[in-house]
Amino acid sequence: MLLPGWGQGAQQRLANASALVVGVGALGSVSAGLLVRAGLGRVAVVDRDVVELTNLQRQMLYTEADVGVPKAEAAAARLRAINSEVTVEPFTEDVRGERVLELVEGIDIIVDGTDNFETRYVRNEAAVARGGRMVYGRAGGTAGTVLPVLPGVGPCLRCLSAELPAATETCDTAGVLGAVTAIVGARQASLALQVLTDMDVPPRLESIDGLTGMSRTMDVATLRDAGCMCCGQRRFEFLERGDQTAVVLCGRNSVQVSPAGRRKVDARSIAEMLRSHGSFDSEGGVVRGRFARETGEHGDAIGLFLFGDGRAVVSGTSDPARARAVYARYIGA
């Protein structure tokens, strides 16, 4: 309240605002925590994954007690404990296609905490399609990048790169400094708060090195492309592609396998069925466990975490074909 520009009027705008944080891992857990502490009226958190021990190096909302719990649920519990006046809605989903448009309906800003460019392009198209705003963020190694995507003001992600960018270093190949993710996530939250309080936010691409403290800022307003397939021609190819069959998860030696369509899973009966093949149980509508006689390419036991929508994370392998085969063998194609 004492900061210039952040008085009663700004506080009321925040209390009336809503944000969708897509991915509550390294970046999203930081930005979601700051948005809730700032007193937004509603914060929805979406994540397809579960908390793992290796996440705790950089994912600020979780503790060892959360290992094995769906991230969206664990994040929501922590966020509600931080500020009970904020409405926090968790969604344990891999959000693509039409479902993205359903979740962004009525949302004032999207905060991107995802870990690959294809899913970012889906969020980018959703923001443009609904006339919304998004704050893009990325961290890897010791560096990070932040960009506000403001339709009608600056470029969208496809203005900057019409096709998916070439492969870049990820946490699989380069690791990530936990402090860098905190810097990027905090910067995303700061930009989101400025947008939500109607402050002037110029379209600038910010690059940050968390190890050296060096940063660069590039004005990208002139890079807005009137012929852009997304914000210019309003063709939303990534939204229309729907679910992928298999996605290798960053730094996890795991693959997410999705059914062709949304399906409901009877977790208890499937866990019972799988017990003859390994150690499995069900809790909260989720099946989890490891197979006794299935191993991955490095000899690791294959694990399965099956969600209520039929989507599964197959651990112990980074081979999509192997993951799909395990899914088909025990869950059905």
Q: Which residues are catalytic?
A: 171
Tokens at residue 300, please? 């690791």
Tokens at residue 292, please? 């006794």
Pairing verdict, β 109-112 and 134-140: parallel
What SS3 string covers 160-185? Answer: HCCCCCCCCCCCCCCCECHHHHHHHH
Which residue stretches of the chain are H helix?
Answer: 8-15, 26-37, 71-82, 97-104, 117-129, 157-160, 178-196, 237-241, 267-274, 320-330
Tokens at residue 328, please? 């088909």
Residue 292: phi and psi, rounded to 5, are -80, -30
The full DSSP string for 31-99 is HHHHHHHTT-SEEEEE-S-B--GGGGGT-TT--GGGTTSBHHHHHHHHHHHH-TTSEEEEE-S---HHH
CB atoms within 10 A of CB 225: 17
